[in-house]
Amino acid sequence: MQVVILAAGLGSRLGKGIPKALVEVAGKTMLEYQMEWVKNFNPEKVIVVSGYHHDDMKSFCNQKFPHVILVENERYKEQNLYSLLAAKDFLNDDTLIMNVDHIYPDAFAQRVAPKLNKVGNYAIFADTERSLTDDDMKVFINSDKKVEKISKKLTEWNAGYIGMTFIRKSFWKDYFKAAQSVSENHKEKAVVEMVIQELVTGNNFPEIINSDNITWYEIDTPQEHEFAEKELSQTSGFRDTVRVVLIDSQKDLPEFAGTDIVERWERQLNKLNVDLKHEEKVVKRKDLVEELKDSDKKKLFVFSDWIVDDFSLEFVAETVFSQVKDNEAVFVKNSKYGISPFFIAGVNAQKELSDWKGFKDDIELDEVVEFVEENSKIEFSVQEQESGFWKKINDERSATDVEWQYLQFLQFRPGGLVAKYLNRPISIRITKSIIKYKWITPNIVTGVDFLIGLIALSFFLIPSYWTGALGAILFHFNSIVDGVDGEVARMRQKGSSLGAWLDSICDETLGALLYLAIGYHLYISGHSILFLFAGIFTALVSYSYALIHWHCKFKNGLGFYYWWECYKPRKEVQRSTSIVSYLKKLLWRDSILFAVMIIAILNLLDVFLVIVVFPAVVNLVLIIIHIFVKKARW
């Protein structure tokens, strides 16, 4: 996928005398907002079409965004279709087309990114709730839910186009044919939206990507610039910032996994895995009515005496929050745990709650649900979530019970079959036995596990069947303990980037050394020296891949993915349920180490090393193709 940003305009109405793309809004240029926003789609290429004061744009891009493809539109004084056609030579892939003078929140990208995968030929982005002015692009959608007309001059409309179109690679031929017709008929006044109308007239209807309930800014006039400047200068930025109210319990709660529950919640909220900005505050239940009264924004309310998994919280903040209306209160539930301990309330819904006579200092979740469900002035809504975990803490006994239940839930986090059904049933029991000791941190567990791995490797230095088998068994135990550091971090919400780096470096170092150790073990046990070379080769390829992975992570904040995945959104790749994704999980570290243990017991380490040389060769070839042939991101 690639992105084309149309940025050739003069911005004459803004009166700045510089390219419109370089006009600053709240301390950042419009182009910088767009470049940050498109990162959510992880595009293979970003093409910026410049025009007015092209040299200034070239200098700016060379300094700030050297990786973009900058195209000059010499016909920039004409309408924007010619900006798109100026980039025609690069339009050979699935492409998102957008205007530089629109600023969108990250939440919008996260919401629509999965929808792009399902588009047939092309799609336009439109919302049905925004009030439109004479200068806005209007859309009429007929009763068959097909776009019938698109123009600023429509007298009847039911949606507004928000300046973005998505074109499939296979559809460009039809698009260019329509664009040619528009260019011939409308000359210098041809705009991109006319091409959509031309396609519709020829019964090529676009799909519609709904953009309701999203706050975004278009900046064409001084008034629009002033308004956006004011809004974006505020701490919250976009008005759909997730505002979280953590409702503290009236009673003293026990610790959970050796940590204070409220502090654990604060850490969990701070590491919320969404780019959407969020703010949080802790409110005692007796002060909740005042918080509800004094509200002009929708909020996410969370009962702090519950334990909730990260994904459920992320689901609410990322997917549900932006869609909630002012008079609505939205809860989440699943079939196993029922209603979750958080709900989102719009401004009007909060006011209704604040007037509730039954509000008590020790109000509980089920009472809130019952009131909202029966209140005719609040639109009660429940979002179904297939997975997730939430349990209430009442006392020390329940805290201990929930610790074990949450560990059992963590057993089935993403991973291979060996991890889920062999390693983790043991690792969660180790975690259960040590979690009460506060001094045992995730990084200490990582260090101990690394030491276990080094001891296991030392057994391969002795030429004996028994030492090889014992080394492999101990190495598999290293694989089991490898899950404990992550479990401790998740239980306490104390994960860190340092811990992630430490864990990755230890794992990859031990993994590469294992191939080398097996090759050496076979050689000193009387096998050909070729086994030693095979171990060295496999270890070098394995560690080279690890080094590239770390380089990518340090440079881009992302790991290394081959060219067919490196431009997809990370969450799409990580959460994929495809057969290919499943087969990849079979090659995860825990599965390989389990195989090594079985093979070593069967005295077939020589066969194993011969087999793993082949995927090492394939991996090396793929790395070479990725870097030198495809010249993809790394």
Give the model confidence (pLDDT) of 375-392 as tens digits: 989 999 998 888 899 999
CATH second-level architecture of 2-232? Alpha-Beta Complex (3.90)
CA distances (Å), 424 to each of 96, 412, 419, 428, 444, in order? 42, 8, 6, 6, 19
Least confident of 1-10, 138-147, 285-294: 285-294
C-alpha–C-alpha distance, residues 568 and 573, integer Å = 7
Mean pLDDT of 207-228: 85
For helices 465-492 and 442-459, angle between their N-to-C axes, nearest 10 degrees: 170
What CATH architecture does domain 411-629 belong to? Up-down Bundle (1.20)
Domains 242-392 and 411-629 share a fold: no
DSSP element (H, E) containing 582: helix 579-585
Q: What is the pLDDT of residue 274?
A: 44
Q: What confidence score (pLDDT) does residue 9 get?
A: 84
Q: Is the pLDDT of residue 163 over 70?
A: yes
- The predicted pLDDT at position 278 comes to 57
- How many other β-carbons are positioned within 10 Å of the β-carbon of residue 579? 8
Average pLDDT estimate for 36-52: 91
Rounded distance between C-alpha atoms, residue 61 and residue 72, angstroms: 13
In this predicted structure, what is the pLDDT of residue 574?
Answer: 60
Is 11 a residue whose pLDDT tops 90? Answer: no
pLDDT digits (tens, 9 = 90+) for 53-62: 999 999 999 9
72-119 tens-digit pLDDT: 999 998 888 999 999 999 999 999 999 999 998 877 887 788 889 889
What would the mean pLDDT of 249-276 be, rounded to a whole number? 81
Round to whole Å and give the CA distance between 442 and 445. 5
What is the gyration radius of the CA atoms in the chain, in angstroms?
29
Q: Is the predicted pLDDT of residue 572 greater than 60, yes or no?
A: no
E-strand stretches of 152-266: 159-167, 207-210, 217-218, 242-248
Q: Are 334 and 388 in contact (CB under 8 A)?
A: yes
CA dihedral 262, 267, 270, 274 (to 10 degrees): -110
Given a cut of 70, whether residue 356 has pLDDT beyond it is yes
Work out the pLDDT band at 235, boundaries 50, 70, 90.
Answer: very low
Long-range contact set of residues 259-262: C-beta below 8 Å, sequence gap at least 24: 259/438, 259/492, 259/493, 259/494, 261/304, 261/305, 261/307, 261/393, 262/304
For 21-34, the pLDDT digits (tens) are: 999 988 889 999 99
Q: Distances from the Cα of 272 to the Cαs of 104, 106, 257, 313, 315, in angstroms?
A: 20, 14, 20, 8, 10
pLDDT of residue 203: 93
- Is residue 287 pLDDT above 90, yes or no? no
Task: Specify the pTM.
Answer: 0.66
Residue 194's pLDDT band (boundaries 50, 70, 90)? very high
Residues 221, 224, 229: CA angle, nearest 5 degrees:
125
Domain ranges within the chain, ordered by starting residue: 2-232, 242-392, 411-629
Question: Which CATH superfamily groups domain 242-392?
Answer: Spore Coat Polysaccharide Biosynthesis Protein SpsA; Chain A (3.90.550.10)
pLDDT at 517 over 80: yes
* Mean pLDDT (the chain, rounded): 88
| Residue 360: per-residue pLDDT | 74
More confident residue, 82 or 565: 82
Residue 275 has a pLDDT of: 43
**How far is it, in rounded angstroms, from Cα 589 to Cα 305?**
36
Rounded CA-CA distance 194/560 in Å is: 41
CA distances from 454 to 162, 460, 571 (A): 58, 10, 34
**What is the bridge-based pairing of β-strands 147-151 and 24-25?**
unpaired
Range with lowest mean pLDDT among 30-39, 398-407, 574-583 = 574-583
Mapped onto helix, strand or coil, the DSSP state of residue 514 is helix
Residue 410 has pLDDT above 90, yes or no: yes
pLDDT band, very low/low/confident/very high, at 419 (cuts 50, 70, 90): very high
The least confident of 248-257, 286-295, 516-525, 594-603 is 286-295
Q: Give the dihedral of Cα atoms 365, 371, 372, 378; nearest 10 deg.
A: -150
605, 517 contact by CB (below 8 A): no
